[in-house]
Amino acid sequence: MSLDTTVGTREQVRIFVTGSCDGLEQLREALERHGEVELVGSSAGVMESAPTLTGGHLQVVLHGTRSSSLPADEIASIREHTRAPIILLASGEASALLEEALDADVSDVLLLPQMTENVVFAVRKASKTGHRPLASPGRRGRVVTVFSPKGGTGKTVTSTNLASAFAKFEGRKTLLLDLDLQFGDAAIMLGLEPDKTIYDLVVAPGELDSEKLAGYTTRHASGLDILPAPLRPEDAELVTETKLSRLLEVARESYDVIVVDTSPFFHGPMLATLDRTDELLLVCGLDVPTLKNVRLALQTLELLAFPTNRIRLVLNRANTKVGMKRSEVEGALDAKVRFEIPSDRAVPISVNRGTPAVLAESGADYSKAVREMAKGLLPVEAAKAQKRRLFKRG
Ligand SMILES: Nc1ncnc2c1ncn2[C@@H]1O[C@H](COP(=O)(O)OP(=O)(O)OP(=O)(O)O)[C@@H](O)[C@H]1O
Ligand SMILES: [Mg+2]
Domain architecture of the chain: domains with CATH: 6-129 (3.40.50.2300), 142-393 (3.40.50.300)
pLDDT at residue 55, as a whole number: 45
Name the DSSP class of 229: P
pLDDT bucket at 253, cuts 50 / 70 / 90: very high
pLDDT at residue 385, as a whole number: 55
Kindly tell me if the per-residue pLDDT of 387 is higher than 60.
no
pLDDT at residue 390, as a whole number: 54
The ligand 1 atom nearest the CA atom of 150: 25
The ligand 1 atom nearest the CA atom of 345: 4
Q: Which of 65-69, 85-89, 379-383 has the lowest mean pLDDT?
A: 379-383
pLDDT at residue 138, as a whole number: 62
Q: How far apart are CA 188 and CA 178, in angstroms?
A: 11
- Nearest one of 252, 253, 256, 99 to 171, comparing CA atoms: 256
Q: Nearest ligand to the C-alpha of residue 348?
A: 1
Closest residue CA from atom 1 of ligand 1: 343
Name the DSSP class of 233: G
- β-bridge mates for residue 42, sequence order: 17
Closest residue CA from atom 10 of ligand 1: 154
pLDDT at residue 230, as a whole number: 96
Q: Nearest ligand to the C-alpha of residue 186?
A: 2
Mutation pick for ligand 1 pocket among 150, 156, 340 (CB with most ligand atoms within 8 Å): 156
pLDDT at residue 243, as a whole number: 93
The ligand 1 atom nearest the CA atom of 283: 21
pLDDT bucket at 128, cuts 50 / 70 / 90: confident
Q: Which of 14-18, 166-170, 280-284, 375-379 has the lowest mean pLDDT?
A: 375-379
Q: How far apart are CA 240 and CA 74, in angstroms?
A: 26
The ligand 1 atom nearest the CA atom of 159: 18
pLDDT at residue 8, as a whole number: 52
To the nearest whole number, what is the mean pLDDT of the chain? Answer: 88
Q: Which of 14-18, 83-87, 210-214 has the lowest mean pLDDT?
A: 83-87
* Beta-sheet strands, E only, within the chain: 6-7, 10-11, 13-19, 37-43, 60-65, 86-90, 108-111, 142-147, 174-178, 218-219, 225-227, 257-261, 279-284, 311-316, 337-341
Strand order in the sheet with 86-90: 37-43, 13-19, 60-65, 86-90, 108-111
**What residues does ligand 1 touch, defined as CB less than 6 Å away?**
148, 151-157, 180, 264, 316-317, 341, 343-344, 347-348, 351, 366
Kindly tell me if the per-residue pLDDT of 79 is higher than 60.
yes
pLDDT bucket at 5, cuts 50 / 70 / 90: very low
Name the DSSP class of 141: P
Q: Which of 96-105, 106-115, 140-149, 281-290 has the lowest mean pLDDT?
A: 96-105
Q: What is the pLDDT of residues 156-198, one digit of tens each?
A: 999 999 999 999 998 899 999 999 999 999 999 999 999 899 9
